[in-house]
Structure 1
Amino acid sequence: MTSPQPPLSADEIIDIVDEDDRVVGQSRRDEAYARGLRHRCAFILARDAEDRIFVHRRTDRKLVFPSLYDMFVGGVVGAGETYDQTALREAEEELGVSGLPQPERLFTFLYEDGPRRWWSAVYQVRCELPVRPQPEEVAWHAFLTEDELTARLPEWQWVPDGLEGYRRLLKWRAEKSG
């Protein structure tokens, strides 16, 4: 019998930021989570050629929100990295592709839920390549229409930061088109 594998990315060094999203220090990722230190994340909404949204269930090895569903790919901004660099790196890694266009940055918001606090830059990207999601990150995936995604919002357990990001994205789109 093998022992369970440890969560991913606990030793990664990340930038710690203040309430205005300015870098004020660095920390190991697991320490930042344990101490509730504010950091940065990039959320990328990936659509295929048919305009469907990439939706996935996270693996049970994820450090935060294991085994929950998400409509964004993305992750924590590494130390010294920009949001834009993270968005492209994370989208390509999680989708298992290379050669994506630079994701388009839409807006940024501060996610706060108890000790969990991070600045979240929301992006979108078109992925017309065949995806091969990272098995370490993605336990299940599919491309869903917006109607299919909307129908599953009350049915599935979603990562709370992604759900908040998606709600803000819908509001941002409505304000932009109105």
Structure 2
Amino acid sequence: MSSADEILDIVDEHDRVVGRRPRGEVYAEGLRHRCVFVQARDAQGRIFVHRRTADKLVFPSLYDMFVGGVVGAGETYDDAALREAEEELGVSGLPRPEFLFKFLYDDGAGGGWWSAVYEVRCELPVRPQAEEVAWHAFVTEEELRARLPEWEWVPDGLDAHRRLAAHHEAR
């Protein structure tokens, strides 16, 4: 099955499931669905940053400071966060990511998705999925801030990053 055929839950403005459709149709029709964003840090506290592959369905070849993706039909946010983090980092036995907050991302084109933001510490050697990740590195907060205006970032990840920074400042 291709990723476009993966079945996703369609949700309303309150994140209640109202239907199910294949991912390709969800994206093409701008239907509201669910996603997870997991900020992975190594043992030194550096943030995993990567560039998406050119053949991704959305935001190909853009940089991201999160691993994650869509929540499958019937899957919980927590289960999707762990699955996606292990898949994209190429590890197994990762601790369960810590849920921080959820928000409704607006793509500016009439669509959007519920987005759950998590953090996880990855002290294992990473072997990112070649199908998902074209380049990767662990960077310091300062290096990430320096790259924000220089690199083209996935817009939903950039929004999640800004919200995460505000979340940490509010603590």
For the aligned pair, the TM-score class normalised by the smaller chain equals: over 0.9
Aligned to 1:42, which of 32, 36, 45?
Answer: 36
Aligned to 1:101, which of 95, 106, 130?
Answer: 95
CA distance in 1, matches of 2:13, 2:111: 13
CA distance in 2, matches of 1:88, 1:115: 29
Deviations 1:41-94 (A, max 9, x none): 000000000000000000001000000000000000000100000000000000
Q: In the alignment, what sits opposite 1:59? A: 53
Q: How does 1:13-92 map to 2 (within 5 A)?
A: 13-92=7-86
Q: In the alignment, what sits opposite 1:3? A: none
Whether the aligned pair in 2 keeps the contact of 1:52 and 1:144 (CA below 8 Å) is yes
Aligned to 1:137, which of 126, 132, 137?
Answer: 132
CA distance in 2, matches of 1:115, 1:60: 25
**TM-score, normalized by length of structure 1?**
0.94
Size of the aligned set, in residue pairs, is: 169
- State the Cα distance separating 1:115 from its structure 2 match: 3.6
Whether the aligned pair in 2 keeps the contact of 1:35 and 1:115 (CA below 8 Å) is no
Aligned to 1:159, which of 154, 157, 165?
Answer: 154
C-alpha RMSD of the superposition:
0.7
- State the Cα distance separating 1:116 from its structure 2 match: 3.4
- State the Cα distance separating 1:10 from its structure 2 match: 0.7
CA distance in 2, matches of 1:124, 1:31: 30
**Unmatched segments (≥5 aa) in structure 2:** none
**Unmatched segments (≥5 aa) in structure 1:** 1-7
**TM-score, normalized by length of structure 2?**
0.98
